Amino acid sequence: MKKIFLILISLIFMNTANAEDLSKENTDKAWDCVGIYMANYFLPSGESFEYGMKEKSMASVKVWKEYALEVGIKEEVWDAGVNKSVDKYYGSKYDEKLTEGCHAFLEKTIPNGEERVKKVAQTLY
């Protein structure tokens, strides 16, 4: 009985530790990045882009949401933040510096982030 109790307490502690990985500041930055990624996907006509950039952007959006749910952010809260960010960035021109900064942030923040994005990108179409 003691072992089961200790295992449950350990699982709860690990979940709490993960939730702290995505602080309020990091959540806001993640939402900004999702808005930038979505703007990349829906670039206005006349913008030049590489198809692979769109795939990586969409895969990154999915990975961010999956990670947010894993660390305990409620889906409604995540989606509301994403909607605000999409409104902020929708229709903007492609900004390579911002996009690359978002990729670096994702890879630093999400465990195995780069691999997760690659895996999702392979399943998009």
Instruction: Quote the CA–CA distance of 93 and 96 in Å, as a whole number.
Output: 10
Strands (E), 5-123: none
Instruction: Quote the CA–CA distance of 51 and 103 in Å, as a whole number.
Output: 16
Inter-residue contact 115 to 73 (CB < 8 Å): no
What pTM does this model have? Answer: 0.78
Residues with Cβ within 8 Å of 44's Cβ and at least 6 positions away in sequence, in order, are 91, 93
Element of type H or E holding 24:
helix 24-41
| Structure-model confidence comparison of residues 9 and 104, the more confident one | 104
Q: What is the pLDDT of residues 64-115, one digit of tens each?
A: 999 999 999 999 999 999 999 999 999 888 888 999 999 999 999 999 999 9
* CB atoms near residue 116 (< 10 Å): 20
